[in-house]
Amino acid sequence: MRALTVVPEQPGSLRVDTVPDPRPGPGELLVRGLALGVCGTDKEIARGEYGWAPPGRERLVLGHESFGQVLEPVGDFAEGDLVVGVVRRPDPVPCGACAAGEFDMCRNGRYTERGIKEIDGYGSELWTVEADYAVRLDPRLRDVGMLLEPTTVVAKAWEQIQRVGERAWFEPKRVLVTGAGPIGLLGALLGVQQGLDVHVLDRVTDGPKPRLAQALGATYHHEPVEKVLGALEPDIVLEATGVGSLVFDAMAGTGSYGIVCLTGVSPTGRSLTVDAGTVNRELVLENDVVIGSVNANLRHYRAAADALGRADLGWLAGLVTRRVPLDKAADAFEATGDDVKVVLDLAGER
């Protein structure tokens, strides 16, 4: 079968390889890959800036935004079921969080991640997954199932916001989502589903992003962030760009008891001058909280599947702005101005 592989830490090593078909072990499903979402993390790995190969191996099969169809079922699964594989696996110790099933909160950093850290990913025509780490999707989601994983990331972020908010009286009304990429827009979707007044900020003034935000019933902004924050004083900022300066603007610009949830991974090595006293003063005097949120556990996969099930299918399909066949995989890693989510087609004709 064909698989998209890379040598971590080696820029330019991405290629489509022919590798042996995987054989499911006990308790594992054999899955035909249908599609794979490509995200910023995949691009970082392809640029040689992130990622770890499986121990003793040079190449890693890339891909963690999975979607496929069961060929050989086990347990409760049936042939033909649409499934997504979970990204992270608990550390081997395991730490307390991993032992409790909250591997997204791993404390010792020895977790592994499919397609990212030490285990092959889902970017192949066939893949296997432990039935315990597979999530079944409603057949209605056949064209958009690869959006589940990014949705799990925002399902976790929203859960964290809710839990932090509940430390005192909490009735949030308004959220500003910074960044109208897939994470931002899916975060906005979940905000709208909760009945919040959702605002989305991005730099672009036309193309699919403003349209997609407005189609959700959210308000789209492209003015400077300080101006938008000043006018809105949001209860919550869901940050999905990873742009350092924006993170600090968000921390200073929420309303009282504000929560800023950071989901974007920034490039390192860029410095920024910040008035730390003002940031500290703001956080203390307003009981503000800043939380970082990464990855997702099974609870978030279920919440995300539920959220996608309630979303408008046409809107979800609109997030997928480009589909690239596996043999042209490199094209999916080149940004074009109007991309929201680029998807690799794993099941197309050769």
Please state, in angstroms and rounded to a whole number, the distance separating the CA atoms of residues 191 and 184: 10
What length is written for the chain? 350
Q: Which is nearer to ligand BGC, 59 or 88 (CB)?
A: 88
Q: Which is nearer to ligand BGC, 87 or 307 (CB)?
A: 87
Q: At closest approach, how far in Å is the CB of 333 from ligand BGC? A: 14
Residues 6+ apart with CB under 8 A from 3: 16, 17, 18, 19, 61, 120, 123, 124, 125
3-state secondary structure 148-179: HHHHHHHHHHHHHHHHHHCCCCCCCCEEEEEC
**Which residues in the 179-238 window bind ligand BGC by CB under 6 A?**
none
Instruction: Enter the tokens of residue 108.
Output: 């010792």
The amino acid at residue 333 is F
| Residue 77: burial class (beta carbons within 10 Å; 0-12, 13-18, 19+) | middle
Among 39, 316, 340, 344, binds ligand BGC (CB under 6 A): 39
Please state, in angstroms and rounded to a whole number, the distance separating the CA atoms of residues 78 and 33: 16
> Per-residue contact track with ligand BGC, 147 to 166, x per CB under 6 A?
--x---x-------------
Q: Which is nearer to ligand BGC, 37 or 253 (CB)?
A: 37
Instruction: HSE, CB side, 13 Å, CA atoms: give it for residue 184.
Output: 26
Helix H or strand E encompassing 69? strand 68-72
Number of residues that bind ligand BGC (CB under 6 A): 11
Please state, in angstroms and rounded to a whole number, the distance separating the CA atoms of residues 231 and 160: 25
> Per-residue contact track with ligand BGC, 68 to 107, x per CB under 6 A?
-------------------xx-------------------
Q: Which is nearer to ligand BGC, 116 or 189 (CB)?
A: 116
Among 19, 71, 215, 294, binds ligand BGC (CB under 6 A): 294
Q: At closest approach, how far in Å is the CB of 103 from ligand BGC? A: 10
Q: Which is nearer to ligand BGC, 33 or 210 (CB)?
A: 33
Please state, in angstroms and rounded to a whole number, the distance separating the CA atoms of residues 195 and 172: 10
Q: Is 345 in the site for ligand BGC (CB under 6 A)?
A: no
Q: At closest approach, how far in Å is the CB of 78 from ligand BGC? A: 27
Q: Is 298 in the site for ligand BGC (CB under 6 A)?
A: no
Q: At closest approach, how far in Å is the CB of 40 from ligand BGC? A: 7
236 SS3 class: strand
Instruction: Enter the tokens of residue 260.
Output: 């800023």
Q: Is 295 in the site for ligand BGC (CB under 6 A)?
A: yes
Q: Is 113 in the site for ligand BGC (CB under 6 A)?
A: yes
Q: At closest approach, how far in Å is the CB of 75 from ligand BGC? A: 24
Please state, in angstroms and rounded to a whole number, the distance separating the CA atoms of residues 63 and 122: 5
Among 116, 141, 147, 240, binds ligand BGC (CB under 6 A): 116
Q: How many CB atoms lie within 10 A of CB 175?
A: 27
Binding site for ligand BGC (CB under 6 A): 39, 41, 64, 87-88, 113, 116, 149, 153, 294-295
